[in-house]
Amino acid sequence: MIAESIPVGGDISYDDISTACGLNVDNVRRILRFAMTNHFFVEARPNHVSHTSASRLLVEDKQFRCSEDPTLSGWGLANNAKAPFFQELEERHPSRFQNVKTAMEAWDSWVPNSPLNENYSWSSVKKMVDIGGGRGLVSQSIASHDPTPRFVVQDLPGVVADASAALPAEFSERITFMAHNMFEEQPVKDADVYFFRSVFHDWPDASCVQILRALIPALKPGARILINDACMPPDGALNPRANRSKRRWDLSMMLLFNARDRENGDWASLFEKADPRFKFLGVRTPDVNVEGIPRAWLLSIIEALSENVMSGREYHQDGSQLSVSFIKGLNYPAWNWLNGEDTGSIGAITEMPHFQSTFGQLSPFMSGLTISIIMLAGAFPSIYAGQLGDKFGRLRIIMAGIMLFVLGVILQGSAFQLPMFIVGRVVGGIGMGMWMPTAGVYVTEIAPSARRGMLMGTLQLAVQAGVCCGYFTAYGTVRVDSSMSWRMIYIIQATVGLVMVGLCFGIPESPRWELLKGRPERARRLLDRLDFSRTEAEKDLFSVVRRESPQPDAIQGLIMIFRRPYRRRTALAFVMLGTIQLSGIDAVVYYAPVLFAQAGLSRTTASFLASGLSAILMFLVVIPALLFIDRLNRRSVTFVGGLLLVGCMLTIGTLYAANAVRPDGPGRFIVIALVFLFGVSYCATWGVVGKIYASEIQPTATRSAANCVATGLNFLANWLVAMITPLLLARSSFSAYFLLGGICALMVLGLWFYMPETKGQSLEAIEEAFKTPFQTRPTAVKIPWQIIKRGLGFGHREERARSGRGGRNKRGTIEPST
């Protein structure tokens, strides 16, 4: 209360604190001045108090006030726990774990089983899973009472090993033991009852919800969840002494473990939070008297039915089922198809006779400007697309961007003057700058870590499919003897864009965005539909979001990505999405007809056909890249691809510089083959890895902003390459190749030393990895790296210190070198 009365960033007098808190001013002064001896609060000016960095945590750090993390609890903090109570003891304190296990066994022996045996119909149960069942005493008691059920007792490995050895022979055929973590997906899928004895009162609500959700993939229709646990009686049901005892126990569980006992309504709410499709059947407390057991401490029977709960599907009011994976797989890659279609067709369009008869023969400068202006226009909105996506939702920004792109396409297709055509490309570029970076963020956030590489890679596959379609559409319409030869292409693009907008209404929003907007229950349902594992959803995703600070505004978000915790990842994202485009891929894609014509093919039909064939190869090579991207190291793929790109560019430049490319010589075929190889190598390596890597290395707080700024740099790099390529080709046949190949070589060298591996890790695990210093240089290059440092002049200070020539002496003073 006192801490909250002191403004953050300002100060307040003792009198005002006293008034705000209703406390004696002298007592306030005494308390605060004692706290100041421990660096909590400070008197910035006489009799006025302000916060220190330590005391500000009392106001701003909410995680301990409302924490549902079992490690951020009284016991967890006192023991520096890295895992929940039982797991922590088993892994790090085995002797204490044995003591707790002995105490739990004593508890199981003390709690009577007769109320459970006699107040539930066990004859209809064929198989029961006793989760957290310890030695299996409950299962043994039920087995003695009813001959029908068979039992699987699950617990931690250390418990199961001892329990299995101590099982009486009479139960050996009906009771089996299984080591299982109840927070992970339930492996037993054909049980009638999933049973918990005295488990849930040890855990906070969030953990209990996670336990229940871990059951969902295993539940068959009609399976029941049966909980035998303490239930807080309603007010007035107990005498004051018994009520005080129960309430004291409840508070003790809260202080120690963030756990709790629950009232009847709390149990119903727990199942509702886990999944609204659970049918809660109620709470029953057996009306029996057991000698030696106070009535208040009898365990209740809490039951729920899984009649309509099925993992990974959403039920609509009409009873139909929606396959999210199907609609998602059909729609989201098609967004980038639009970008590829424009990229593949625009270079060919500007070479068409009827386009040139409409707008005139374009100079190299105007050709570069007309083609590249769409990327320049997309650079600036892409910077703010992340903030717009954070505020309004990923899908809304994607839909708005596609609609703007369609408007730009309509303007281009209906233009009769070049300025109107360029305005259409500017409008389309603005839309592209909104949807493309947001699409990358969206797919990253809906993709489980095991399939994130493949799903992100389908965006690149869609781009290549669009490029392929663009080339062959142009090849098919170039013979049309009217302006429809190029206008027809824009009719196709507009139609596909409108269909994509319509399909966006059938796919879900990003669950991470729902979490950032404070809607965890909706986010959990989306995660179920998107096939996230329980471990990744709860352990990684929800725990990180609980630690996230409120989302910054647009300016703060842009500033944040350059701050110390994030700047390294931001720089890598800039390289992987931005400067990597300076490798020259857009020169190959946009100007393929020109490049092939320069190598000796005819300027229309033959060059268009060669461009289409290169697009087919680039499309086909992405497919195996997607299939294997989650099995291969990101670093290895990047480095091998970079070497191929550098080799292709420098070899083509060398052939042109040596005047070895002639219409009647073999040099032209080598150039054509190397252009093919360059495009294929890029699409199979950098084109797939770049988008994946740039998005997955960003934390949730900056992913959208950093990815969108990096995409803005991507647009600028694309624009620069597309703009200067015709100018360079007009001046020299080889200068463009040497320039782009040299830039590519520098990027390969930098990535080799400073690109950490991320394959197979969850987004949140990657975030944790980036909190430690980079350990990316392999041992094999350690000695060469030292040589490079010495050659550049670094490390001389260390040599002088080792040789005694200057530096600091043993007393810490500085001595001059001789």
Residues in the chain: 818
Structure tokens at 63: 């995680």
Provide long-range contacts, Cβ within 8 A and 24+ apart, for 290-293. Answer: 290/112, 290/114, 290/115, 293/111, 293/112
Would you state the structure tokens that stand for residue 372, as one six-digit string? 């590249």
Exposure class string for 658-692: b at 16+ Cβ within 10 A, else e: eeebeeeeebbebbbebbbbbbbbbbbbbbbbbbb
Q: Which of 145, 201, 316, 796 is catalytic?
A: 201
Please, are residues 367 and 590 in contact by the beta-carbon 8 Å criterion? no
Q: Is 12 exposed, middle or buried (0-12, 13-18, 19+ CB in 10 A)?
A: middle
What's the Cα-to-Cα distance from 527 to each of 521, 532, 695, 713, rounded to whole Å? 10, 5, 19, 32
Inter-residue contact 678 to 588 (CB < 8 Å): yes
* Residue 692 neighbours by CB under 8 Å, 6+ apart: 444, 452, 453, 456, 457, 629, 634
Cβ atoms of 394 and 515 closer than 8 Å? no
The CB density around residue 812, as the number of other CB atoms within 10 Å, is 6
Phi, psi (deg, nearest 5) at residue 129: -105, 120
Among candidate residues 714, 576, 632, the one with its CA nearest the CA of residue 454 = 632
- Tell me the one-letter amino acid at 118: E
Three-state secondary structure call for residue 50? strand
Instruction: Measure the CA–CA gap between 675 and 593, rounded to whole angstroms.
Output: 11
Active site residue 201: yes
Rg of the Cα atoms in the chain? 33
The two tokens of residue 476 are 């098919």
Q: How many CB atoms lie under 10 A from the CB of residue 494?
A: 19
Q: Residue 132 and residue 117: Cα distance in Å, rounded?
A: 18
Catalytic residue IDs: 201
